Every structure is written in C-alpha cells, then in structure tokens.
Amino acid sequence: MTLAIIHTRAGLGLEAPEVVVEVHLANGLPGMTLVGLPEAAVKESRERVRSALVNSGFDFPNTRRITLNLAPADLPKEGGRFDLPIALGLLVASGQVPPEALSGVECAGELALDGRLRPVTGVLPLAMATRRAGRRLIVPLANADEAALAGDLEVLPSDHLLEVVAHLLGQTPIAPHRSPSVVPTLEPGPDLAEVRGQHQARRALEVAAAGGHNLLFAGPPGTGKTMLASRLPGILPPLSEEEALEVAAIRSVSGLSHAEQWGVRPFRAPHHTASAVALVGGGSKPRPSEISLAHNGVLFLDELPEFSRHVLEVMREPMESGQIHIARASHERRYPAGFQLVAAMNPCPCGHLGDPRQACHCTAAQIPRYQARLSGPLLDRIDLQVEVPALAPEQLTSREAGESSAVVRERVLAVRERQAARGALNARLAGQALEEACALQAADRAWLAGVLERLKLSARAYHRVLRVALTLADLAGEARPGRDQLIEAIGYRQLDRLLKG
Ligand SMILES: [Zn+2]
C-alpha cells in the first residue's frame, strides 16, 4: 500500500463538506508536497504531523517522496483539524496501519508535537455530517461531548495519536463516547417578578414574546429597560431540539462552549461601538457574527441611536431574510440569523426629555438630530414601540412583586400554539395573509383608517398595528382583533408620532 485515502471534513459556515486526504508514497527525491491549494495553516500542519509521528515512535517515511492531496482543491482548509487525517494517511501509506482499519471512519483533530490530540472548532456541524454519511468519527477527547450532540453517531474520543493507532490495530479498542446527559439547562434566568411597576412595558414584553415582534423601549436612564429586555428569553417557549442544535452548531464554529448553554435561548447584547463586521459579519475570518449568535434568541441593542448608521443599515437585509450571506472569492458562507430584536433608547442625548425627576438640558436642535439617527427602514421592522417612563419614588420602593416569568410564559405558549395552527408567527405575517388572519369588521377597518390618517401614520404603520392587534386578540382568546385590540395596538406606535415615521 503506497496510496492511502482518509475521510474528513472542511468547515464552510455551518456546513461541513467532505474532504478526502490522499497520501501517496513514491520513490524519488525525498520530501513532502502538499497539493489541493491548502492555506498556510495546513502547511504548518506538515511540521506538527512529522513531530507527532516521530515523537510517538512511528516511522516517518523520510526516504520517500510524499505527495499529500486534500481534495476537492477549492474548499477552504483553515485550522489544525487535518493533522490527524494526514498523520493516519501517512501511517496507512507506509504500511504501519492497515487501510481497512479506516473504512467507515472519519476523523479530525489537531496534533501537538508530542502526539497528543487538541480540540478543534466546528466539531458539531462536522459530526452531524458524519452521521448523515453513516460513518464513525474519531475526535479529540475534548470535542467528544460536542460531537455526541449530533445524536445517532458512534463517537470515538481519544487523547493521543498512540491511542488512535492502538484502536485501529485492534489492540486497545476505544469505547464509544456515551452521549452527555444533555438535559436542557433549567437554571432559571432573570425573572420578571423582580421588575417593579412598568405595567405597560411588561405588557409589551409579553406581546413581543407571544407574537415574535421586535420591540423598542424608549425612556430615561435607570427605568429598567435593560432589566426588562434581558427577561424576554425567559418568557419565550423552550427551544425545540432542532433549534437547540442550530444554536449549538453556531457556537461550535465560533469556538464557544456549548455544554452549559445547551437548550438556552441566546441573549446577545453587543455594545454600540460594535463594528458592522462584529455585528453582522464579514471580515477576513468569516466567523458567525452577533446576529448569528443571537439566532433563535434575542438581540438586544441598548442605546440604539448611538450605533453607527451604517451598522444599522446593514442589519436590514438579514432581518428580512433571517440569514446572512458572506461572499468570499470562491465560496459563499451562509449563517442563520433569525433573531428577535429588542432595542432601547433614551428620548434625547441627556436622557431626561419628559422625565419629571430631572430636567432635560438638551438644545432644541440636539433632540431631533438625535432621534433622526434611527434609520426609518429599521424602525419599520419594529412592531412595538413603548415608552418606559421614570417611576415615582413610591413605585420604586413598592414591595408588590409582579407576575413571575413562568406565569407569563404559560400565556405565551398558548398563543404560540394558535399561531402554529395558522402556520406563521404574527410578526411574520404581511399583505394578504395578514389581512385574512385579522378579518377586521368593516366598521373597525374604517375607524382604524381614520385614526391613522389623523395621527399621520404611514401605510406600513397600518400593517404593524394589524400584526400587534392580532397578537392581542390571540392573547385575549378572540377570533379576530376588535376595537379594544386596535386601540391598544395604536398605543404601541408612540414613537411614530415622536419620530414622524
Ligand atoms: Zn435631554
């Protein structure tokens, strides 16, 4: 045997396309040639593999001409994940491991110079693809729990190249990794019961959770906007198995831990100084950005007008499509980005416009300039806009606890079931589907048109009012929105008047 073929996988977004490592030994000028246009990191792999083999006591075929081919050539091949397949390919090609030992097997792992196996990123998408291919998977021990999340797959974890070879030679079989007990993390997040007062904002949070609506809180500092936003994941339905896997796969390719986060709805709160690359994606290493890390969860943008206008503009497209495309010379990566947006803002630069406790000292010119920083098209995608006023002192010290997250979540779950029967979250309904779901009575429709006209609200605002009214009807157990729901829904357009949106 002078030609060896080993199966492994590249990382391309959340996909893990197959890569075949071919190792050919020939007589001729000694040396090692890598083909398949691997990136610089793979060239470093050559040195690690050589040291790992020699330091583990294997023969390195020094006197032969070695050709290494990673096919297909045009896949990106960054990272150390190809070390182990290359090392095993050399062992097979040089007759130290029989080729049949690797049939039905895939492997990935970075080698230390002494032959120990180091974890690699993106193991979960890789393991899911291996499972679909019906093969077994050898991975570094530190990646075993993550690989086992892929489900019905034989995961063979190992700490050292010597262990892998002893297994392949049938000397000391590696016991398949028992999948970790992935019980959803039930550690309760922050609870709504801790929020004092703010009845309208709490109500809006529940409506947002029930219908999947994006939400904007506006109010002076210290009124609990962040406190409220961080409690949204706790009143959303639990992640489905499939959603949890998506979240874990995104964390996996980001190199973030998964175990303690399994089943937890993401809550991401990037700072307003975040760049477009960090928030939306791109850059030289196309890793998942904040909006992808918030997939199936909540993206919280505090001090929304402080974000650069450019950053907010580039968020529009992924908000529409629920995913982000990152174009590269030869490849396009696609990451999911289906998040729910909660934003917060002060009413003016100093924060105290309309605050009875403290006077606003902004100039007449500053206030409209500040508010105009919000992009209209972004506001168009925010169904709920709510003022969070400064609380009177007696409300702040009130001992009266609000409803707990668990109680609110029960109502949210019931409403989500009604929407599932209709086939879409209310926040996603538009055009004809929205009109049909609402089925307003003629009198209510005419009344609403008149109100919107008087308030000088746009046609787009009309649809946002309808979507929210439908969620309010669902919460009330009504078949369709009536006058009460329409009135409440119009109340959630407070900033339209302020911002003339
Ligand atoms: Zn001010």
Determine the pLDDT at residue 196. Answer: 82
Tokens representing residue 41 in the block:
């990191």
Å from CA of 358 to ligand 1 middle? 10
Determine the pLDDT at residue 133. Answer: 95
Determine the pLDDT at residue 263. Answer: 79
Residue-wise pLDDT for 356-411, tens only, equals 888 999 998 988 888 888 877 788 889 999 989 887 766 666 667 789 999 999 99
Q: Is the pLDDT of residue 265 over 70?
A: yes
Cβ neighbour number for residue 205 with a 10 Å cutoff: 25
Å from CA of 411 to ligand 1 middle? 38
Å from CA of 216 to ligand 1 middle? 19
Are the C-beta atoms of 345 and 304 separated by less than 8 Å? yes
Q: Is the pLDDT of residue 184 over 70?
A: no
Q: Is the pLDDT of residue 501 over 50?
A: no
For the chain, domains (ranges, CATH) are 3-168 (3.30.230.10), 192-421 (3.40.50.300)
* Residue 332 burial (C-beta neighbours within 10 Å; 0-12, 13-18, 19+): exposed
Are the C-beta atoms of 258 and 149 separated by less than 8 Å? yes
Are the C-beta atoms of 36 and 70 separated by less than 8 Å? yes
CA trace torsion 372, 376, 380, 385 (10° rounding): 0
Å from CA of 124 to ligand 1 middle? 49
The DSSP call for residue 36 is S
Determine the pLDDT at residue 429. Answer: 92
Q: Is the pLDDT of residue 287 over 50?
A: yes
Going by their DSSP bridges, the two strands 298-301 and 340-345 should be labelled as parallel
Determine the pLDDT at residue 496. Answer: 66
pLDDT band at residue 500 under the 50/70/90 scheme: very low
Q: Which helix (H) or strand (E) holds 38?
A: none
Q: How far apart are CA 84 and CA 169, in angstroms?
A: 16
> Can you give the pTM of this predicted structure?
0.87
Which residues line ion ligand 1, judged by CB < 5 Å?
A: 348, 350, 353, 360, 362
Mean pLDDT, range 142-171, rounded to an integer: 94
Å from CA of 249 to ligand 1 middle? 44
Higher-confidence residue of 2 and 111: namely 111
Cβ neighbors of 148 (< 8 A, separation 6 or more) are 127, 155, 177, 178, 179, 180
Å from CA of 366 to ligand 1 middle? 8
Torsional class of 392: left (φ above 0), alpha (ψ -120 to 50), beta (otherwise): beta
Determine the pLDDT at residue 12. Answer: 86
| Paired strand residues for 286 | none
Cβ neighbour number for residue 338 with a 10 Å cutoff: 18
Q: Tokens 């002192």 sit at which residue?
A: 393
Q: Is the pLDDT of residue 426 over 80?
A: yes
Residue-wise pLDDT for 209-227, tens only, equals 999 999 999 999 888 899 9
Are the C-beta atoms of 52 and 115 separated by less than 8 Å? yes
Q: How far apart are CA 491 and CA 494, in angstroms?
A: 6
Residue-wise pLDDT for 128-144, tens only, equals 999 999 999 999 999 99
Residue-wise pLDDT for 45-60, tens only, equals 888 999 999 999 999 9
Å from CA of 364 to ligand 1 middle? 9
Q: How far apart are CA 118 and CA 255, in angstroms?
A: 13
Determine the pLDDT at residue 33. Answer: 83
Mean pLDDT, range 151-180, rounded to an integer: 93
Cβ neighbour number for residue 24 with a 10 Å cutoff: 17
Q: How far apart are CA 498 and CA 62, in angstroms?
A: 76
Mean pLDDT, range 316-335, rounded to an integer: 83
Determine the pLDDT at residue 498. Answer: 57
Determine the pLDDT at residue 476. Answer: 96
Residue-wise pLDDT for 75-122, tens only, equals 877 778 999 999 999 999 999 999 999 999 999 999 999 999 999 999
Å from CA of 8 to ligand 1 middle? 59
Å from CA of 193 to ligand 1 middle? 31
